[in-house]
Amino acid sequence: MGEGNFAEQINAANAPFAKLIGAHLTLATKERLEAEIEVKKEHCTIPDNMHGGAIMAIADNMGGIGAFMNLSPGSITSTIESKTNFVRAIPIGQKVKAVTTPVNIGRTLQLWKTEFFREDGKLAAVVQQTQIVRSGEGQNVQG
């Protein structure tokens, strides 16, 4: 994938699940992804704080996009490990910013970190995930 900001193209072509979880990319480069998420009732647990699974799903999607943007032609990627640290609650109604950056981009493994920030600028969660890179030969991959 070339250089530049591909946020709008990715938003338009993103997988149905990515659209369902409501993360809107505002920046998508090979070195950094940023998204905004308006925390709605559907993202929440009781008592109206963002559910950890919603945080993890958004981070997994963003890390996967970052890995995809750094693949060589003919390669595919998949998440093989994910770890989340929850630092503080994110209340309903907040607009959250998620920032995804590579920790390491290797030939067969990529390591990505996604940080979630509340409207007050405070860190709310950190997700670190490992993406395996392998040949897409023989795979039924639809774009």
Question: What would the pLDDT profile of 68-97 be if each residue is shown by its tens digit?
Answer: 999 999 999 999 999 999 999 999 999 999
pLDDT, position 46: 86
Mean pLDDT of 121-126: 99
pLDDT, position 143: 44
The amino acid at residue 96 is: V
- What does pTM read for this prediction? 0.90
What's the CA gap between 107 and 34, in Å, rounded?
A: 24
> Of the CATH numbers 3.90.1150.10, 3.40.50.970, 2.40.50.140, 3.10.129.10, which one belongs to the domain with range 7-135?
3.10.129.10
Peptide bond into 47 cis (omega under 30): yes
Mean pLDDT taken over the chain: 93
4-13 contacts, C-beta under 8 A, 24 or more apart? 4/29, 5/29, 6/69, 10/65, 13/143
Question: What would the pLDDT profile of 101-122 be if each residue is shown by its tens digit?
Answer: 999 999 999 999 999 999 999 9
Distances (CA, A) of 7 to 39, 65, 69: 20, 10, 11
Sequence-separated (6 or more) residues with CB below 8 Å from residue 57: 17, 21
Query: Is the CB of residue 96 less than 8 Å from the CB of residue 116?
Result: yes
What are the boundaries of each domain within the chain?
7-135
pLDDT, position 51: 98
